[in-house]
Amino acid sequence: MKSLLLISGQSNLERCELKATADRMIQLYDQVCELGHDMRYLYPSTCFSRSAHTLRIATMLESRRADVILHVPVKNERDAYFVRWPKDVIQAYKNFTAIANSPVGRFIAKELALPNVKVSRWCEGGLVLRTNDTLVVSDAMYEPHQIKNILKHYRLLFIPSPGHIDHPGCRKMISVTHIDLHCALICTSRQMLLLVSEQYYHNYRVQVHMTAEVLGALLFVVPSSEVARRVLNLAFLPPGTVLLPDRCPRTKRFLMQSIDESNIITVKIDKNFNYHMGYGGLGCMSSIVY
Span 176-209, pLDDT tens digits = 789 999 999 999 998 999 999 999 999 999 999 9
Give the pLDDT of residue 271.
84
- Tell me what the pLDDT averaged over the chain comes to: 90
pLDDT at 276: 80
pLDDT in tens, 34-60: 999 999 999 998 876 555 567 888 889
pLDDT surpassing 70 at residue 71: yes
Q: Is the pLDDT of residue 174 over 50?
A: no
Amino acid at 142: Y
- Does 171 score more than 50 pLDDT? no
Burial class (CB in 10 A: 0-12, 13-18, 19+), 43: buried
Amino acid at 43: Y
What's the CA gap between 155 and 215, in Å, rounded?
10
Q: Sign of the CA dihedral 17, 19, 20, 22?
A: positive
Which H/E stretch holds residue 192? strand 192-197
Query: Can you give the pTM of this predicted structure?
Result: 0.92
Topology (CATH) of 4-289: L-arginine/glycine Amidinotransferase; Chain A (3.75.10)
In terms of Cα–Cα distance, which of 34, 36, 33 is closest to 67? Answer: 33
Q: Are 231 and 161 in contact (CB under 8 A)?
A: no
Q: Domain limits of the chain?
A: 4-289
The H or E element that residue 265 is part of is strand 264-267
pLDDT given at position 48: 63
% of the chain surpassing 70 pLDDT: 91
Q: What is the mean predicted confidence (pLDDT) over 155-174?
A: 69
What is the band of 231 on the pLDDT scale with cuts at 50, 70, 90? very high
**pLDDT value for 14:** 76
Please report the pLDDT score of residue 8 as a whole number: 94
Distances (CA, A) of 57 to 24, 53, 149, 266, 283: 12, 6, 42, 22, 21
Instruction: Give the HSE-up count for residue 235: Cα atoms under 13 Å, Cβ half-sphere.
Output: 30
Nearest to 273 by CA among 5, 22, 4: 22
Among candidate residues 31, 40, 115, 58, the one with its CA nearest the CA of residue 288: 40
Residue 173, pLDDT > 50, answer no
Q: Is the pLDDT of residue 234 over 50?
A: yes
The answer on pLDDT for 156 being more than 50 is yes
What's the pLDDT tens digit per position in 72-108?
999 998 998 999 999 999 999 999 999 999 999 999 9
The mean pLDDT value for 122-131 works out to: 93
Confidence of residue 168 (pLDDT cuts 50, 70, 90): low
